[in-house]
């Protein structure tokens, strides 16, 4: 089937098998390997991308379902050479170790701050509760997202 | 100088999605592999028909055990000198065992073709419960081994049996407790896999795979496949978590190599999550009986342990040859005990091989859990506060270096200080008062303490090896003419931040910014030999090698500086990152100035080579012994048995901290592991050997909701044997925390008279413990 998916603002048209998963479309067809694959069952969330702004697990979305839609991946977070606040926050607060869950965590963090610029700790934990991290014990991910929220608030004021 | 908090160098690529993990590597003409696995835990293979799969238009090769037999590759050595089937020829011995390998043009077609392979199995009774493995009528799993008539692998003991037994006979009080450390899996978020590229023209084999021990892999490939070692290059790119599960060589790696040799094209194989959980290195599976002999006033005199160790279908534990139970015999822990003795019996069962994985420090995890649970059992027996009982028995600072009753020489420590700090941070006395109040209201609140001593940083190589390869690691350091440096090390990070930490060590030793040091690792063509990253050994071993190689360079720089300053090297002192004439700091040379001179036309003394570089191999004189005191507070819902970890305080002493930010991150992760193992994670099996935890829907891992906000404290007792006093920390929290959580839950259940309950303490398990009807969490057998 022929699909056109806009990824990080750029439309891509490809001929794909109907069963092709979005995660494989992004990785294998477009070479965007920042989106990882981890479990097949929507539990780990390392494949999280934003589909029309909403975080989805791209291992359980077919590429054909994304036809005509907009996808944001980790590669789309940096704008004009400027890192997103959540990217800066993860560096500042040591919010990553092996880096495998990081792209998905960053995208969910961005989604959260788009909806709620000043989330409390419980809100942050709930927002990332559909994603696993095996390295950080989540502590520094939570701190990273708080840091990003504070940085953006300061930039606005 | 360079030690201290510093942002990680590796983050720049990871936050942009620009890490390169094995599955991100793609080569022109690359094919894809997939593995057909046995649905049976134990079955004779009658026939394998690959005709239909081979006829699939996108399939390029189908490899079976018979194919490999023709190449002499059907079996491979395990890290414990056993053998393991690469692809099964005679029998399947665990559910998920590798039976056939398909190579196709794309990964989806490779999976499709698996469905076309017709295997006829003759199912056999499975050995699932380790306690039944030695029954006379138990099915013999390893009938491939000559003369094997049962499932016994080894008996091993440590300590002084006679002295221990004598103390038990005379003891005022003894306690005993059976406990299981259930089978768990490290479940790194990146699964295992390999990309093999055999170049027929040059004879060079390049293998990309997420290995924690690239050099050991290369040597083993040379031994297994008979390929010359200099024609093998193992590249371990970015690794998405390892935790010990990526030490061994898995059958899929060998299949990918054979696939590339057969097809003449690169072959990539990546396992899926179910394959990862069913077939790669499990951890623990220790069935233990602990006993303590003590005086009535709470003086621990002796500890005795019997263990039945479930090693699965092939004995594949990655541990030193002399120690079939790893370092389990460090089980006397942090206490001043007169005598100790343990016996460990290893058995085969119809489960996946593995055994030393998951941040276990060669089974120190099991040892610490055992002794820390036992101390609480003793406290309950004596009616003593568990923190007070520990305080009475902890080793005292003046006892170090301390030789334990099972022969370990602990390097340094101040244990009471660490425990006092943990109790202060958690507010222990206030919590006990709160607990009394809540109990009066019928609420279940528990406070759990654990104290651990780790033994990490293996070798020395005369005692410790993997398949005869001694545990010593190399480092090479080159300073470029402009004073920037490149360090090459044998270990490989799986997220620990070596590129930052090791650059900081070089920076500290040479007086240059850590940013000026590039760290190269994970590529056998680019780095010196060494055994890699596991058992918390990177900083204790490779970190020591790094410090020492930097000191060698500094010594050479002194001679060059002396020539530059027309002084004697003996008249120079190292201060502020410069070699300068004693008493005249203005006459000095920085490392950058010296480096340029070392590459210039400057005349150097006779016998001194130019340039500025050095190499070393570090053979540790002893292990290092990090330690810590943990306190956990839980609330248990009396209606549902649900456990909520309210607080967790961790005081760690890992000696000198090179980058405290990274150290704390390591601890955070290990604490989450402890909560996960204590409350959620278990790989259970039914009576036919069916794996009941083969996906993340069944094998539950902690999320941000189950983890509290960790509260850390620290003490610093440098290691006297390590050049910078560091001890290693990667596994400390995973080792120390499960006992604190379980002790807290058991403490909460005190009003019900519960003295022990096995992990994981799921709501069902807690509820059953309260009912006095605990069950085997690792088996779904009535």
Tokens 């983890």: give the residue.
B707
* A-chain residues near B187 (CB < 8 A): 134
Pairwise CA distance, residues B651 & B242, whole Å = 24
Q: Which residue does chain B place closest to A37, by CA atoms?
A: B190
| A40 interfaces chain B, CB cutoff of 8 Å | yes
User: Which class for B186: exposed (0-12), middle (13-18), buried (19 or more C-beta within 10 A)?
Assistant: buried
- Predicted local distance difference test score (pLDDT) of residue B779: 82
B17/A35 CB distance under 8 A: yes
Chosen for mutation from A98, A110, A145, A148 (greatest number of chain B CBs closer than 10 Å) is A98
Q: Of the candidates A40, A99, A132, which has its C-beta nearest B14's C-beta?
A: A99
Percent of chain A with pLDDT strictly greater than 70:
100
Instruction: Report the Cα–Cα distance between both ends of chain A, in Å, rounded.
Output: 49
pLDDT per residue as tens digits for the range A7-28: 999 999 999 999 999 999 999 9
Q: Measure in Å the smallest separation between the Cα of A116 and chain B Cα atoms.
A: 18
Please count the CA atoms within 13 angstroms of the CA of B745 that sit on its side-chain side. Answer: 30
Nearest-CA distance B8 → chain A (Å): 7
Of the listed ranges A27-36, B250-259, B316-325, the least confidently predicted one is: B316-325
Examine the domain organization and report whether B613 and B628 are in the same domain: no
Give the count of domains, chain B. Answer: 3
Question: Is the domain of B409 the same as that of B493?
Answer: no
Q: State whether A60 and A119 are in the same domain.
A: no
Q: Cα separations (Å) of A101 from A73, B14, B241? A: 13, 10, 10
Query: Cβ of A106 and B11 within 8 Å?
Result: no
* pLDDT over 80 (residue A130): yes
Measured CA distances, B149 to A117, B92, B139, B534 (Å): 67, 18, 9, 35
Is the minimum CB–CB distance between B17 and chain A shorter than 8 Å? yes
Q: Are residues B541 and B554 in the same domain?
A: yes
Residues 231-290, chain B: which have Cβ within 8 Å of A?
A: 238-241, 243, 272-274
Split at pLDDT 50, 70, 90, the class of B606 is confident
Helical packing angle, B732-748 and B660-679, nearest 10°? 40
In chain A, positions 114-143, which contact chain B (CB-CB < 8 Å)? 121, 124-126, 128-142
pLDDT exceeds cutoff 90 at B1 = no
DSSP string across B40-57: SSSEEEEEEE-HHHHHST
Confidence of residue B454 (pLDDT cuts 50, 70, 90): very high
Q: For residue A97, give the nearest of B272, B495, B701 by CB distance.
A: B495
Query: What integer pLDDT is reported at residue B2 of this predicted model?
Result: 87
For the CA atoms of B382, B388, B390, B395, what is the dihedral angle to 10 degrees?
Answer: -130
Chain B stretch 470-509, residues whose beta carbon is closer than 8 A to a beta carbon of chain A: 494-497
- The whole-angstrom distance between residue A15's C-alpha and the CA centroid of its chain comes to 25
Residue B253 distance to chain A (closest CA, Å): 19
- CATH number at A141 reads 1.10.150.120
> What share of chain B in percent tops pLDDT 90?
94
Same domain, A99 and A58: no
Final residue in a domain of this structure, among B554, B586, B618: B618
Q: How far A90 CA lies from chain B's nearest CA (Å)?
A: 8
- Same domain (yes/no): B301, B436: yes
pLDDT band with cut points at 50, 70 and 90 for residue B586: confident
User: Domain range holding A72?
Assistant: 2-76
- Quick one: pLDDT band at residue B355, thresholds 50, 70, 90? confident
Using the predicted structure, report yes or no on whether residue B581 has a pLDDT greater than 70: yes
Check which CATH number belongs to the domain holding A26 and give it: 3.10.20.30
Domain boundary among A42, A76, A110: A76
Report how far residue B270's alpha carbon sits from residue A77's, in angstroms, rounded to the nearest whole number: 28
Average pLDDT, chain B: 96
Does residue B478 lie in a domain region? Answer: yes
Q: What is the pTM for the complete model shown?
A: 0.98
Q: Is the ipTM of this complex over 0.85?
A: yes
User: Do the Cβ atoms of A96 and B704 come within 8 Å?
Assistant: no
pLDDT tens digit sequence for B170-213:
999 999 999 999 999 999 999 999 999 999 999 999 999 999 99
Q: Is B174 exposed, middle or buried (0-12, 13-18, 19+ CB in 10 A)?
A: middle
Which of A76, A96, A113 delimits the end of a domain?
A: A76
Q: Chain B residues with CB inside 8 Å of A145's CB?
A: none
Which residue from B21, B189, B707 is facing A137, i.e. has the nearest CB?
A: B707
User: Chain-wide mean pLDDT for chain A?
Assistant: 98
Residue A47 CA to residue A24 CA, distance in Å, equals: 10
pLDDT at B288 over 60: yes
**CB nearest to B273's CB, from A40, A129, A134:** A40
Same-domain status, B645 and B679: yes
pLDDT of B782 > 80? The answer is no
Query: Are A106 and A86 contacting, i.e. CB atoms less than 8 angstroms apart?
Result: yes
Contact at CB, A138 and B707, closer than 8 angstroms: yes
Residue to test with chain B: of A99, A101, A105, A147, most B Cβ within 10 A: A99
Q: Do B668 and A106 touch (CB under 8 A)?
A: no
Alpha-carbon distance B673 to nearest alpha carbon in chain A (angstroms): 8
Q: Are A77 and A84 in contact (CB under 8 A)?
A: yes
A60 near B CB under 8 A: no
Domain endpoint, select from B618, B633, B661: B618
- For chain A, say whether B211 makes contact (Cβ under 8 Å): no
* pLDDT above 90 for B443: yes
Residue B117 near residue B77 (C-beta atoms within 8 A): no
CB-based contacts of B237, cutoff 8 Å, min separation 6:
B20, B21, B22, B24, B25, B208, B210, B522
Q: What is the CATH number of the domain that holds B55?
A: 3.90.1170.50
B772 Rama class: left (phi>0) / alpha (psi -120 to 50) / beta: left
Q: Tell me, yes or no, whether B307 lies in a domain.
A: yes
* B247 three-class SS: coil
Q: What is the mean pLDDT of residues B732-754?
A: 98
User: Are B447 and B386 part of one and the same domain?
Assistant: yes
Residues A90/A96, Cβ–Cβ less than 8 Å: yes
pLDDT tens by residue, B472-486: 999 999 999 999 999
**Together in a domain, A50 and A96:** no
Say whether residue B704 is in contact with chain A using an 8 A CB cutoff: yes
Q: Does residue B501 share a domain with residue B404? A: no
pLDDT category of residue B780 using cuts at 50, 70 and 90: confident
Q: Do B703 and A19 touch (CB under 8 A)?
A: no
Distance CA B328, CA B283 (A): 13
Residue B70, C-beta contacts closer than 8 angstroms, at least 6 positions apart: none
* Cβ pairs A/B, distance under 8 A: 171
> Do A53 and A106 have their domain in common?
no
Task: Say what the pLDDT of residue B656 is.
Answer: 98
The tens digit of pLDDT for each residue in B634-651 reads: 999 999 999 999 999 999
**Domain extent at residue B583:** 472-618
Q: Are residues B605 and B631 in the same domain?
A: no
Are A34 and A98 in a shared domain?
no
How far apart, in whole angstroms, are the C-alpha atoms of residue B558 and residue B563? 9
Instruction: Please check the confidence at residue B40 and state whether its pLDDT lies above 80.
Output: yes
What string of H, E and C letters represents the secondary structure of B326-342? Answer: CCHHHCCCCECCCEEEE
Asked whether the beta carbons of residue B190 and residue A100 sit closer than 8 angstroms, the reply is yes
B198 in the same domain as B53: yes
CATH number of residue B517's parent domain: 3.30.365.10
pLDDT at B487: 98
Among all residues of chain B, which has the CA nearest to that of A121? B709
B671 in contact with A, Cβ within 8 Å: yes
> Are A103 and A56 part of one and the same domain?
no
Q: How many helices (H) and strands (E) does chain B have?
A: 18, 34
Parallel, antiparallel, or unpaired for β B59-64 and B83-85? unpaired
B697 — contact with chain A (CB < 8 Å)?
yes
Question: CB distance from B703 to chain A under 8 Å?
Answer: yes
**Structure confidence by residue, pLDDT tens digits, B395-423:** 999 999 999 999 999 999 999 999 999 99
Do both B371 and B324 map to the same domain? yes
CB contact under 8 A, B704 and A141: yes
- pLDDT of B775 above 90: no
Q: Smallest Cα–Cα separation from B185: which of B692, B775, B763?
A: B692
B387 in the same domain as B248: no
Domain boundary among B567, B584, B618: B618
Calculate how close chain A gets to B13, using CA atoms only, in Å.
9
Distance between alpha carbon B763 and the CA centroid of its chain, in Å?
29
**Can you tell me the distance from the alpha carbon of A91 to that of B333, in angstroms, rounded to the nearest whole number?**
37
Residues A10 and A31 in one domain: yes
From A91, A130, A136, residue closest to B15, measured CB to CB: A91
Q: Is residue B179 part of a domain?
A: no
Looking at residue B396, what is its pLDDT?
98
Co-location of A10 and A43 in the same domain:
yes
Interface test with A, best of B704, B708, B729, B737 (most A CBs within 10 A): B704
Q: How far apart are CA B688 and CA B342, in angstroms?
A: 32
From the list B190, B496, B695, the residue facing A97 with the nearest CB is B496
The number of distinct structural domains making up chain A is 2
Taking the Cβ of residue B187 and every Cβ of chain A, the question of whether any pair is shorter than 8 Å is answered with: yes
Instruction: Give the chain A residue whose CA is nearest to the CA of B188.
Output: A134
* A82-120 exposure pattern, b = at least 16 Cβ within 10 A, e = fewer: ebbbbbbbbbbbbbbbbbbbbbbbbbbbbbbbeeeeebe
| Domain C-terminal end among A51, A76, A101 | A76
Label residue B117 left, alpha or beta by phi (over 0 means left) and psi (-120 to 50 means alpha): beta
Residues A57 and A103 in one domain: no
Q: What is the pLDDT of residue A15?
A: 98
Q: State the Cα–Cα distance between residues B50 and B423, nearest whole angstrom.
A: 64
- Nearest-by-CA chain A residue for B238: A98
Give B542-606 as a 3 state SS string: HHHHHHHHHHHHHHHHHHHHHHHHCCCHHHEEEECCEEEECCEEEEEEEHHHHHHHHCCCCCCCC
* Contact residues on chain A for B241, CB-CB shorter than 8 A: 97-98, 100, 134-135
Q: Which of B230-244, B263-277, B329-343, B763-777 has the lowest mean pLDDT?
A: B763-777
pLDDT of B221 above 60: yes
Task: Determine the Cα–Cα distance for residues B475 and B432; give it in Å rounded to an integer.
Answer: 51
**Minimal Cβ distance to B7: which of A41, A91, A138:** A91
The answer to the question of residue B506 being in a domain is yes
Residue B781 has pLDDT above 80, yes or no: no
Q: Do residues B599 and B697 share a domain?
A: no
How far off is chain B from A157, nearest CA to CA, in Å?
26
| Interface subset of B 542-601, CB within 8 angstroms of A | none
Kind and range of the H or E run holding A152: helix A139-156
Q: Which residues of A touch B188 (CB under 8 A)?
A: 98, 100, 134
Supply the pLDDT for residue B634.
98
Same domain, A99 and A69: no
| pLDDT value of residue B428 | 98
């Amino acid at each position: 089937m022929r699909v056109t998916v806009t990824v990080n603002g750029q439309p891509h048209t490809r001929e794909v098998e109907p069963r092709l998963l979005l995660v494989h479309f992004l990785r294998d067809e477009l070479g965007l390997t920042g989106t990882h694959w981890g479990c097949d069952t929507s539990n780990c969330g390392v494949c999280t991308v934003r589909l029309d702004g909403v975080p989805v697990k791209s291992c359980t979305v077919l590429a054909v379902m994304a036809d005509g839609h907009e996808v944001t991946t980790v590669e789309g977070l940096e704008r004009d050479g400027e890192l997103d606040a959540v990217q800066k926050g993860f560096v500042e607060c040591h919010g990553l170790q092996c880096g495998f869950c990081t792209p998905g965590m960053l995208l969910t963090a961005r989604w959260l701050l788009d909806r709620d610029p000043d989330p409390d700790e419980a809100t942050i934990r709930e927002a990332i509760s559909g994603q696993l991290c095996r390295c950080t014990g989540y502590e520094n991910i939570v701190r990273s997202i708080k840091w990003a929220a504070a940085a953006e608030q300061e930039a606005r004021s | 100088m360079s030690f201290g908090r510093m942002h990680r160098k590796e983050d720049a690529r990871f936050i942009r999605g620009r890490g390169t993990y094995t599955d991100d590597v793609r080569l022109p003409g690359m094919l894809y592999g997939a593995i057909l696995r046995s649905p049976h835990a134990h079955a004779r293979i009658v026939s394998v028909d690959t005709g239909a799969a081979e006829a699939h238009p996108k399939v390029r090769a189908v490899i079976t055990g018979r194919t490999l037999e023709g190449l002499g590759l059907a079996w491979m050595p395990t890290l414990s000198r056993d053998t393991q089937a690469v692809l099964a020829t005679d029998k399947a011995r665990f559910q998920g065992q590798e039976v056939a390998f398909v190579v196709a043009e794309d990964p989806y077609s490779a999976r499709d073709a698996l469905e076309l392979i017709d295997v006829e199995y003759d199912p056999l009774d499975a050995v699932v419960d380790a306690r039944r493995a030695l029954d006379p009528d138990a099915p013999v799993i390893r009938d491939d081994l000559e003369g094997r008539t049962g499932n016994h692998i080894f008996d091993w003991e440590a300590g002084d049996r006679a002295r221990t037994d004598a103390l038990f006979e005379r003891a005022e009080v003894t306690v005993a407790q059976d406990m299981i450390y259930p089978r768990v899996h490290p479940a790194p978020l990146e699964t295992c896999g390999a990309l093999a590229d055999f170049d027929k023209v040059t004879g060079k084999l390049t293998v990309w795979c997420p290995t924690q021990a690239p050099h050991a892999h290369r040597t083993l490939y040379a031994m297994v496949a008979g390929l010359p070692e200099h024609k093998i290059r193992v590249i371990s790119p970015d690794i998405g978590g390892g935790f010990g599960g990526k030490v061994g060589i898995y059958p899929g790696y060998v299949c990918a190599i054979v696939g590339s040799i057969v097809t003449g094209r690169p072959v990539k194989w990546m396992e899926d999550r179910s394959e990862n959980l069913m077939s790669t290195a499990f951890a623990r599976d220790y069935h233990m009986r602990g006993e303590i002999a003590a005086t009535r006033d709470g003086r621990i005199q002796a500890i005795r342990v019997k263990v039945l160790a479930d090693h699965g279908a092939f004995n594949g534990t990655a541990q030193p040859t002399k120690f079939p139970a790893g370092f389990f015999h460090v089980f006397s822990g942090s206490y001043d005990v007169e005598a100790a003795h343990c016996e460990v019996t290893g058995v085969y069962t119809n489960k996946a091989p593995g055994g030393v994985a998951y941040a276990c420090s060669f089974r120190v995890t099991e040892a610490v859990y055992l002794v820390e649970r036992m101390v609480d059992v003793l406290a309950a027996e004596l009616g003593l506060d568990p923190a007070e009982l520990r305080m009475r028995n902890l080793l005292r600072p003046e006892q170090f270096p301390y030789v334990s009753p099972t022969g370990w020489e602990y390097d340094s420590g101040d244990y009471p200080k660490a425990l006092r700090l943990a109790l202060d941070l958690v507010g222990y006395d206030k919590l006990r008062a709160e607990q009394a109040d809540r109990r009066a209201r019928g609420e279940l609140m528990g406070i759990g303490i654990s104290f651990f001593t780790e033994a990490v940083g293996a070798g020395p190589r005369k005692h410790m090896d993997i398949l005869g390869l001694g545990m010593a690691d190399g480092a090479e350091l080159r300073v470029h003419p402009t004073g920037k440096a490149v360090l090459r090390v044998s270990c490989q990070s799986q997220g620990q931040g070596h590129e930052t930490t090791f650059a900081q060590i070089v920076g500290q030793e040479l007086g240059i910014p850590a940013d000026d040091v590039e760290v190269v690792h994970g590529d056998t063509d680019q780095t010196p030999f060494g055994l890699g990253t596991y058992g918390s050994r990177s900083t204790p071993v490779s970190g020591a090698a790094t410090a020492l190689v930097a000191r060698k360079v500094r010594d050479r720089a002194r001679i060059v500086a002396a020539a530059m300053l027309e002084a004697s090297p003996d008249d120079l002192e190292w201060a502020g990152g410069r070699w300068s004439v004693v008493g005249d700091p203005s006459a000095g040379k920085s490392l950058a100035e010296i480096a340029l001179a070392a590459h210039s036309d400057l005349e150097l003394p006779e016998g001194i080579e130019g340039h500025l570089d050095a190499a070393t191999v570090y053979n540790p004189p002893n292990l290092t012994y990090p330690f810590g005191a943990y306190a956990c507070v839980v609330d248990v819902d009396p209606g549902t048995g649900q456990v909520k970890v309210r607080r967790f305080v961790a005081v760690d002493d890992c000696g000198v901290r090179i980058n405290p930010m990274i150290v704390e991150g390591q601890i955070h992760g290990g604490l989450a592991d402890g909560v996960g193992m204590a409350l959620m994670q278990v790989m259970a099996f039914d009576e036919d050997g069916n794996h009941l935890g083969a996906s993340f829907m069944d094998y539950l891992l902690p999320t941000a909701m189950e983890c509290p906000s960790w509260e850390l404290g620290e003490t610093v007792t440098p290691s006297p044997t390590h050049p910078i006093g560091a001890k290693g920390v990667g596994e400390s929290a995973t080792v120390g925390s499960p006992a604190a959580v379980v002790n807290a839950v058991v403490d909460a259940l005190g009003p019900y008279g519960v003295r022990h309950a096995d992990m994981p303490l799921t709501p069902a398990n807690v509820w059953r413990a309260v009912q006095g009807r605990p069950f085997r969490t690792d088996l779904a057998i009535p």
